Amino acid sequence: MPFPPGDMLAAFGTYMRFQGLGQALAERHPEIAHRIEVAETAPLYLKVDLDGKRGVLLSHVRFPYTIMWGLTGPDLAADTSVLPLETREEALVDAVHAHVTAHLTGTPVPSPWRWHENEHSDLTELADLLDAQGVVVRRVTAGNRYSLRGPYYAPELVSPSHPAPHVDAAVDGHEVRISLKPRLGWMVDLWCPEVDLWTRIDLNGSLGRPLSPVPGVSRAALSVEDLAELIGDGPRAWEIEDVGDVRDESADGLGYQDLFLTVLGQLGTFGFTDVHEGDAEDPLRSEHFHIVLHRPEKDLSAPALKALNGEAAAAGDDVPKRLMVIARSGLSKPAAAFADQAKAFVFQLDERTGRLTGLHARAREVLLPRDKPDCQ
């Protein structure tokens, strides 16, 4: 007997996956077992009947470069979640059950599933609190980074370019992005439609706290409840940083003074509150940071960065300074790892535009989003 071809084995494996999901759903949530239907032939799906006509459907959705789980309620696009194929079985069946129960009882889909997430987190808690205040929560991106855009009959799969977990929301007509950065904590960015750019809200200033020289507020220093209250209070409660001006590339580039004024503006917008203009020899100065302009075009190595970090430690009068490097070059992988360990910030400078790019994880966390809000 010839061995079955690969596509036949794959199809049988998919069939068994759906059968297993149906069985798991019935065992985990027996009160809806009589409503479960699993297709026996292609196209395969798991359906939970609601009223004989409508249902909640779990199926595979094919996109140009990938296949996802699609969880669709009777309201089509308004209820559709997309989840990676590697999503755990328990998470899939609990998501189906949450949507079914909501429709059967006439209640909203509960959190975290209403936000297209499978697990509770600080971000889903924040979304719940904002929603309770009347804030429009547009998107929660925590464990599930995927969403759909466009009409239900031709959806486009979206994976945000913004790497950190975040909540997008609209407050009094203003679009905000609340991020929880792994190393730096909470940051809130505000979209400025008049210039098509993001700027940053100074959380410490908005809360009446002393300014911090480093962007972000740690999760331990700011509760989800206090953050939600601040966001819900709207623009009247926010201290907003000036928008950093990064010019388009020109034939002549920027002059020396304009270049560093552009860098200074960006650092201020990021939330580095004690970086200020210096002189011709040291154009950027700070009480907290030892700022180095690295002009060679060769990538910074780990030994070179460690030497600069030693200079920074010796530069402080009472306490060691932290290192900030503005470089023309890149950064080796070992140097990037050391920069994160030393809590330094290393940025690459585009001398034609003045734009700063983060060269390691901690530096990338302070950058502003580059994508427009979904509503734009």
Sheet order of strands, 55-63 included: 36-38, 45-49, 55-63, 66-73, 76-84
Distance from the Cα of residue 150 to its chain's centroid:
21
The mean predicted confidence, pLDDT, of the chain is: 90
Q: pLDDT band at 5, cuts 50/70/90?
A: low
Query: What does the pLDDT read at residue 248?
Result: 63
Question: What is the rounded CA–CA span in Å between residue 227 and residue 25?
Answer: 37
Task: In whole angstroms, give the CA distance from residue 195 to residue 197.
Answer: 5
Query: What pLDDT sits at residue 251?
Result: 47
Handedness of CA 268, 272, 275, 281 (dihedral sign): negative
pLDDT surpassing 50 at residue 92: yes
pLDDT band at 247 (very low <50, low <70, confident <90, very high): low
Tell me what pLDDT residue 376 has. Answer: 52
Predicted pLDDT at 253 = 64
pLDDT at position 250 is 55
Average pLDDT on 155-182 reads 88
Q: Containing H/E element for 255?
A: none
pLDDT on residue 4: 55
Q: What angle do CA 336, 266, 260 make, to 5 degrees?
A: 90
**What's the first-to-final CA gap in the chain, in angstroms?**
59
Which pLDDT does position 153 carry in this prediction?
74
Give the pLDDT of residue 23: 96
Domain boundaries, the chain: 1-108, 111-243, 256-365
299-320 tens-digit pLDDT: 999 999 999 999 999 987 788 9
Lowest model confidence (mean pLDDT) among 5-19, 48-62, 212-226, 290-304:
5-19
**Confidence check: pLDDT of 375 > 70:** no
Residues 82-91 pLDDT 10s: 999 999 999 9
Residue 170's beta-bridge partner residues? Answer: 136, 175
Strand partners, 157: 148
3-state SS record for 154-167 = CCEEECCCCCCCEE
> Could you give the 3-state DSSP secondary structure of residue 117?
coil
Q: How deeply is 89 buried, as exposed, middle or buried, from its count of CB atoms within 10 A (0-12, 13-18, 19+)?
A: middle
Q: Which segment of 98-102, 190-194, 333-337, 351-355 scores lowest on mean pLDDT?
A: 351-355
How far, in Å, CA of 99 to CA of 72, rounded?
9
pLDDT, residue 79, reads 64
| Residue/partner pairs of 127-134 with CB below 8 Å, 24 or more apart | 127/167, 127/169, 129/224, 129/225, 129/228, 129/229, 129/232, 130/167, 130/169, 130/228, 130/231, 130/232, 133/228, 133/229, 133/232, 134/232
Other Cβ atoms within 10 Å of 124 Cβ, number: 24
Distant-in-sequence, close-in-space partners of 316: CB < 8 Å, separation ≥ 6: 290
pLDDT in tens, 212-246: 999 999 999 999 999 999 999 999 999 998 887 67
The 10 Å Cβ neighbour count of residue 311 is 12
Amino acid occupying residue 362: R
Between 42 and 368, whose confidence is greater?
368
The pLDDT of 173-179, averaged and rounded, is 96
Return the closest-CA partner of residue 291 out of 270, 263, 332: 263
pLDDT tens for each residue of 321-365:
999 999 999 999 999 999 999 999 999 999 888 999 999 999 999
Which fold would CATH assign to domain 256-365?
Trna Endonuclease; Chain: A, domain 1 (3.40.1350)
Predicted confidence at residue 9, as pLDDT, reads 63
Contact partners, residue 107, CB within 8 Å, separation at least 6: 101
pLDDT reading at 208 higher than 60: yes
How crowded is residue 246: how many other Cβ atoms within 10 Å of its Cβ?
Answer: 17
